[in-house]
């Protein structure tokens, strides 16, 4: 009877052990499912872009790669074949504080991305200490005891709830946003600089034409005055010629003021004091057109 009883107890023990093991596997599986369901935050999904895949209007005549080539688009102002315009845009991109601020934000985002990635790796800490104690030996002489201690510690936290992964995703999104922000600032600054430069050249051309008209109308008014004095024309004709001259003179003054304002705006985009670009803009040049 004793051997029979021992065998029964062993069978029951093995059965209980197997049952406990199965229960442990089930609990582990349930915990894994629950932990996966408790991941911090929802998955990111990029918003849908409703932009059309093609332009509604046909491309201009010529080589279409000049419009769609990314390298050509990155330096689109070079297609105007205006050396002064190229220098203006490059100076604006190199010295404008808005671009510097966007670059600083990009560097900050890169540092934050690197810091968030450190959560995937163990944290290592090292320490070293030294302690001195003074006392007397068995002969009564002074003696200094010096003790050195060094320690090394490493820890790693399991990302059970996805907090580290979400932090990395957020840091990566911030980095991409900083890249896009820098690109947008550069595009906007280049466009504003080119627009102000073209506007300045347009004003210079209008001022040149207005000054030439003023010279012509001044001669006309002088001749009309002579004719009225000689009785060959009425006084009304002389007054109308003088009024047209004065209107053109007023237009010249307005264009000179507007031109000075355009030069100041361009100097602001270049992050330079007004008048610093006098050597480049003093000479009148035609309005730049795409080559």
Own/partner pairs, 122-128, CB within 8 angstroms, 24+ separation: 122/154, 122/155, 122/156, 123/154, 123/155, 123/156, 124/152, 124/153, 124/154, 125/152, 125/153, 125/154, 125/155, 126/150, 126/151, 126/152, 126/153, 127/151, 127/152, 127/153
Phi, psi of 130 (to 5 degrees): -140, 135
Expressed in angstroms, the distance from the first to the final Cα of the chain is: 110
* Cα–Cα distance measured from residue 146 to residue 150, given in angstroms and rounded to the nearest whole number: 14
* Cα–Cα distance measured from residue 257 to residue 284, given in angstroms and rounded to the nearest whole number: 16
Place of tokens 């199965």: 22
Closest by Cα among 178, 207, 193, 165 to 267: 193
Question: Which residues is 151 bridged to in the sheet?
Answer: 127
Going from the N-terminus, what domains does the chain have, and what CATH number goes with each? 73-124+167-281 (1.20.1600.10)
Low-confidence residues of the chain: pLDDT under 70: 1-46, 55-72, 117-124, 126, 132-145, 147-148, 151-164, 278, 291
287's tokens: 């309005």
What pLDDT score was predicted for residue 74? Answer: 75
pTM score: 0.63
What pLDDT score was predicted for residue 252? Answer: 94
* Cα–Cα distance measured from residue 269 to residue 191, given in angstroms and rounded to the nearest whole number: 11
Residue 103 zone, left/alpha/beta (φ > 0; ψ -120 to 50; rest): alpha
Question: Which stretches of the chain are assigned E, i.e. beta strand?
Answer: 123-136, 142-155
What pLDDT score was predicted for residue 4? Answer: 44
181's tokens: 């922000």
């Amino acid at each position: 009877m004793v051997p029979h009883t021992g065998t029964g107890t062993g069978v029951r023990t093995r059965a209980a052990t197997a049952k406990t093991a199965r229960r442990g596997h089930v609990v582990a599986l349930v915990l894994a499912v629950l932990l996966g369901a408790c991941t911090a935050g929802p998955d990111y999904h990029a918003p849908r872009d409703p932009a059309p895949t093609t332009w509604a209007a046909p491309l201009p005549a010529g080589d279409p790669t000049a419009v769609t080539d990314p390298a050509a688009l990155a330096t689109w102002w070079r297609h105007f074949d205006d050396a002064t315009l190229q220098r203006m845009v490059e100076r604006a991109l190199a010295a404008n504080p808005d671009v510097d601020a966007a670059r600083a934000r990009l560097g900050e985002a890169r540092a934050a991305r690197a810091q968030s990635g450190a959560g995937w790796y163990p944290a290592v800490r090292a320490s070293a200490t030294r302690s001195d104690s003074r006392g007397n030996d068995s002969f009564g002489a002074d003696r200094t005891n010096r003790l050195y201690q060094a320690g090394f510690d490493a820890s790693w936290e399991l990302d059970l709830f996805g907090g580290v992964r979400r932090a990395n995703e957020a840091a990566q999104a911030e980095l991409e946003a900083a890249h896009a922000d820098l690109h947008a600032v550069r595009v906007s600054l280049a466009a504003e600089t080119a627009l102000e430069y073209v506007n300045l050249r347009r004003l210079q051309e209008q001022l040149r034409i207005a000054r030439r008209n003023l010279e012509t109308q001044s001669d006309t008014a002088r001749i009309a005055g002579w004719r009225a004095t000689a009785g060959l024309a009425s006084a009304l004709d002389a007054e109308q010629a003088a009024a047209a001259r004065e209107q053109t003179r007023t237009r010249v003054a307005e264009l000179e003021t507007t031109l000075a304002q355009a030069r100041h705006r361009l100097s602001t985009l270049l992050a330079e004091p007004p008048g610093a670009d006098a050597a480049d803009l003093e000479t009148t040049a035609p309005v730049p057109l795409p080559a």
